[in-house]
Amino acid sequence: MHSPIKALTAVRDCFYQDIADRVSARVHKGNVLDIGAGRGILVLKMAEKSPGLKAYGIDISQKAIEAARAIARKAGLADSSHFDAGDVCSLPYEDEFFALVVSTFSLHHWPDATAGLNEIYRVLEPGGEAWIYDHWRDPSPEARQNLARDFGRLAAWFALFHLRFVSSVMTEERARIILNDPSLKFQEKRLEQCGIFLLLRLKKT
């Protein structure tokens, strides 16, 4: 694998598939939402993996949403997926509409993380979880080694270089500040490592 783009795509593809597998193991019916869905890769993986679910994606970029809808049509997944343009801080869905909400690499873009997370709380059903993944500036040595083992040293080097120098990233300190904000409505809040990424795992009880 010689191209940095191919290396990153392989790491991310595997990551999205892993999330789709976890979603499928946890939720068997109802609606799931990906926030900051971009071109909808994760939404389509969730729709493919879990035919009992309706997978929604929302993104502030109208252009990304149009691309996602076109990709869904091409993949034959237009009926099991749904895409909307919109802001995480003002979601166009009724209260308790979703069984689970996920998001990948979008949190660090939100101008008000607490407002976005509290809006996610509103649209989650009681007992529902939000899994908010983001880039992490300093993945643990073990996570780095595992990445090299699974994807090869070159791919791992590209992915880590991208994290450190190219992507805007979430630091552990910033993630803890978000989780400890007293105005955050979630009752259960945990910060976890997920390979080379960070996961804010939130639960509405």
Ligand X SMILES: C[S@@+](CC[C@H](N)C(=O)[O-])C[C@H]1O[C@@H](n2cnc3c(N)ncnc32)[C@H](O)[C@@H]1O
Q: Residue 176 Cβ, how far from ligand X at the closest point, in Å?
A: 21
Dmax over Cα atoms in the chain, in whole Å? 47
Out of 109, 149, 164, 190, name the contact with ligand X by CB under 6 A.
109
User: Closer CB to ligand X, residue 38 or residue 128?
Assistant: 38
Residue 126 buriedness (CB in 10 A; 0-12 / 13-18 / 19+) = exposed
| Angle, CA of 180, 181 and 186, to the nearest 5° | 80
Q: What are phi and psi of 66, to 5 degrees?
A: -65, -40
Q: Residue 3 Cβ, how far from ligand X at the closest point, in Å?
A: 18
From CA 7, how far away is CA 20, in angstroms rounded?
20
The residues near 193 (Cβ < 8 Å, ≥ 6 apart) are 136, 139, 140, 143, 199
Cβ pair 44, 77 in contact under 8 A: yes
User: Closer CB to ligand X, residue 83 or residue 151?
Assistant: 83
Determine the 3-state secondary structure of 133 from DSSP: strand
Out of 110, 131, 186, 197, name the contact with ligand X by CB under 6 A.
110
Out of 23, 37, 117, 199, name the contact with ligand X by CB under 6 A.
37
Out of 19, 23, 53, 88, name the contact with ligand X by CB under 6 A.
88
Q: Is 36 in the site for ligand X (CB under 6 A)?
A: yes
Q: Is 38 in the site for ligand X (CB under 6 A)?
A: yes
User: Closer CB to ligand X, residue 63 or residue 153?
Assistant: 63
Which residue's entry shows tokens 């080694």? 145
User: Closer CB to ligand X, residue 36 or residue 128?
Assistant: 36
User: Closer CB to ligand X, residue 38 or residue 195?
Assistant: 38
Cβ pair 82, 145 in contact under 8 A: no
Q: Residue 166 Cβ, how far from ligand X at the closest point, in Å?
A: 11
Site string for ligand X, 39-68 (x = CB under 6 A): --------------------xxx--x----
Where do contacts with ligand X occur on this chain (CB under 6 A)?
Answer: 35-38, 59-61, 64, 87-88, 104-106, 109-110
